[in-house]
Structures are given as C-alpha cells and as structure tokens.
Amino acid sequence: MTDDRAGLTGRRILVTGASSGIGLATARLFAQSGAQVALIARDATRLDQAATAVGGVGLVADVRDPAAVTAAVAAAVDSLGGLDGLVCAAGINARLPIESVSDALWADVIATNLSGTFYTCRAALPHLSVAGTAGAPASIVTVASGGALLPPGSGYTAYAASKGGVVSLTKALAREAAPAVRVNCVLPGNASTPITQSLMATMTPTEREAKLAAYALGRIAEPLEIARAIKFLTSADSSYAVGTSLSIDGGRIFH
Ligand SMILES: NC(=O)c1ccc[n+]([C@@H]2O[C@H](COP(=O)([O-])OP(=O)(O)OC[C@H]3O[C@@H](n4cnc5c(N)ncnc54)[C@H](OP(=O)(O)O)[C@@H]3O)[C@@H](O)[C@H]2O)c1
C-alpha cells in the first residue's frame, strides 16, 4: 500500500547505507510512499537483497572513495532519470578510549561518516539543483547523531568528531544549495540496528541499563521511527526547514 500524503510519488531518491538499519528503513518507507529509490552500500549480496526487498536499484559503492561515489551517483541519475532527493545514512561507529584509537581507525571513521557525506553531497548536488530548479525544491538529508552534540559517555572521540562535522557541513551546504535544494540533518538517538547491537555488546549490563534509562521513553528507537523523520525532511511537509538539526532521540536525558 502506498502513502502519498507527503507528495513523494515519482520523486527520485538516492539513499546511502541503504542495505541495513536506518538507511534500509528509509529506502523502504520512500518506496512505500511512491518514490523511485536507488540504494548504495559496499556489500553486493546484502545490497541486492535490500534492493529487491524495497523494489529499488542497488549500486555498489564505498562512500570513502570519491570516484566510486561520483560513478554511483551518475548511475543513479541514469537509472532513475534524474535525482530529487539524497539521504546520506552510510556510517560506522567506534567506541574506544582515545589512547586506543589507532590512526587507521580515526581515518576510517572520518572517511566514512564525514568525507563520505561530503563526497556524496558534492556529486549529487548538481543533479539535485537541476531538478529543484525545474520543479519542487530538491532535498538532502544527512544523518548525524545525538552524540555529535553530547556524546553518551566516554570512547566517542572519533565518532562524535565525525558527526559534529556532518552537522556543520549540513548547515554550510544548506546556505549554499538553497533555494533549489533544501539541506537538513537528523540526529538520531540509539536505534535498534547492527551498529547499536554491536556497540551494546561491548557494554556491561549496568552500562546497558544506564543507556536505556537515559531515554525519557525508556527504550531505543526502531529504525522506522528515524526513517519517518528523514521522510519529513525530504518531503514538502518540511518546506521551510533549511539547515536544521532535528533530534529524534526519545528524550535522551543528558547527565
Ligand atoms: N543506530 C543508531 O543507534 C544510530 C544512532 C545515531 C546515528 N546513527 C547513524 O545512522 C546511520 C545509519 O546507522 P545504522 O545504525 O542504520 O547502521 P547499520 O545498520 O550498520 O548500516 C550501515 C549502512 O552503511 C553502509 N556502509 C557502511 N560503511 C560504508 C561505506 N564505506 N560505503 C558505503 N556504505 C557503507 C552499510 O553497508 P556495507 O557495510 O555493506 O557498506 C550499511 O548499509 C549511520 O550514519 C549512523 O552513524 C545511528
């Protein structure tokens, strides 16, 4: 069943990190809303399964590689016939005390979360600008994290730095890309995805309990609850939102 209350029918949307978690939930929600969707991730098998399940086009690319990103964006434009929306959800996490963060891990977290978002926005913007100038404004939604504003504990130097960069990049690009393209950011709290599951596996039972207690709702999010916010920022329902950072975090209580 499609839901076109947000006017997404026929919109052409590219989602990175779309083979799992928040990106997959977002691609699925867009497709259910009548959009045409292209999905980017690295692992071809998982991506194929996701693209088939969603009814979209899978494009294998590593967002750390600018040439691969440019090629994948061009392929998405070819296959969808243009581009009206981009969601940058590809990301990785790391939770280690700073003295254990190797040069390679630091570089990987920054390359994936921050540079990957930059490369994807840079490659997609000309296409989005064309669509946004010709019709309804196009849209970019970046995915940062509540940890960009206040890390939930120790061990988040690389991750928080990368996501703080995403928030700043979003605000700077929002000024540059408007009015043809609206650029906004979501800051999720923890959602039930493999990133969070592997992170929580590193915690003691007491730490896990404290994590859940830090949310006013007493639970972490379902990926769909984050996807709905991304859909809102992509659709005309958020027509006056530009450069905003939308926290969707179940009322995370900062200690
Ligand atoms: N889940 C949370 O609690 C939470 C909270 C705040 C923010 N976020 C952010 O939300 C985003 C999605 O997180 P998630 O929890 O949904 O993660 P996830 O389930 O682990 O999915 C990550 C996705 O990104 C892709 N990916 C990772 N590295 C990539 C690369 N170099 N190039 C292309 N694709 C890549 C993965 O596929 P491949 O591995 O096959 O490439 C996968 O499709 C991330 O940016 C994350 O930081 C998540």
Query: On the CB side of 52, how many CA atoms lie within 13 Å of its CA?
Result: 6
- Whether residue 184 contacts residue 143, with contact meaning beta carbons closer than 8 Å, is answered with no
- The average pLDDT across 212-238 equals 96
- Whether residue 158 contacts residue 106, with contact meaning beta carbons closer than 8 Å, is answered with yes
Ligand 1: residue of 20, 163, 170, 249 to mutate (most ligand atoms within 8 A of CB) is 20
Residue 211's identity, in one-letter code, is: K
- The average pLDDT across 76-98 equals 97
The Å distance, Cα 135 to ligand 1 centre, comes to 31
Question: Among the atoms of ligand 1, which is closest to the Cα of residue 64?
Answer: 31
Residue 196: pLDDT band (50, 70, 90) is confident
Note if 159 is an active site residue: yes
The Å distance, Cα 134 to ligand 1 centre, comes to 32
Among the listed residues 157, 145, 150, 81, the one whose alpha carbon sits nearest the alpha carbon of residue 117:
145
Peptide bond into 179 cis (omega under 30): yes
**pTM of the complete model:** 0.96
Q: What is the rounded CA–CA span in Å between residue 141 and residue 167? A: 11
- The catalytic residue among 119, 156, 159, 240 is 159
- Contacts of residue 230, Cβ cutoff 8 Å, sequence gap at least 6: 22, 26, 29, 87, 89, 141, 143, 186
- Whether residue 49 contacts residue 28, with contact meaning beta carbons closer than 8 Å, is answered with no
Burial 36-56 (b: 16+ CB within 10 A, else e): bbbbbbbeeeebeebbeebeb
Query: Minimum mean pLDDT among 22-26, 181-185, 250-254: which range?
Result: 250-254
**Can you tell me which residue has the tokens 């709702």?**
217
pLDDT of residue 152: 83
- Whether residue 31 contacts residue 1, with contact meaning beta carbons closer than 8 Å, is answered with no
Among the listed residues 19, 98, 92, the one whose alpha carbon sits nearest the alpha carbon of residue 57:
19
Question: Which protein residues are within 6 Å of ligand 1, measured from CB?
Answer: 16-23, 40-43, 46, 62-64, 89-93, 112-113, 116, 143, 145, 188, 190-191, 193-196
pLDDT of residue 255: 43
pLDDT of residue 5: 53
Ligand 1: residue of 141, 143, 193, 215 to mutate (most ligand atoms within 8 A of CB) is 193
The Å distance, Cα 17 to ligand 1 centre, comes to 5
Query: Which 3 state secondary structure label does DSSP give 223?
Result: helix
- H or E element: which one contains 31? helix 21-32
Residue-range domains of the chain with CATH: 12-245 (3.40.50.720)
- The average pLDDT across 162-171 equals 98
Ligand 1: residue of 15, 29, 39, 42 to mutate (most ligand atoms within 8 A of CB) is 42
The Å distance, Cα 16 to ligand 1 centre, comes to 8
Q: What angle in degrees, to the nearest 10, is found between the helix axes of 116-134 and 157-177?
A: 20
Encoded tokens for 77: 């434009």
